Structure 1
Amino acid sequence: MTAYAGLPVASVDFLSWEKCDVGLPATGQPKFSASVTATPVTCDKTTVNRDWSIDNYSFRARLDTKDAFFCSGVTIWNNDGCSGQPVHFQSFDHSPLTDGECLPDILEPGYISFKLECEGYP
Structure 2
Amino acid sequence: MAVEVEGSWEGKGFRLQQLKIVAPARFAYYRGPGAAVDQGSYRALELWTVEDGGTVRTLALRAAPEGASVVLVAYWDGQRFLALPSGLRPPPPGLAPGWVEGIGVYREGRVTWMRFRPFP
Q: TM over 0.5, yes or no? A: no
More strand as a share of residues: 2
TM-score w.r.t. length of structure 2: 0.40
Greater relative contact order structure (CA < 8 Å, 6+ sep)? 1
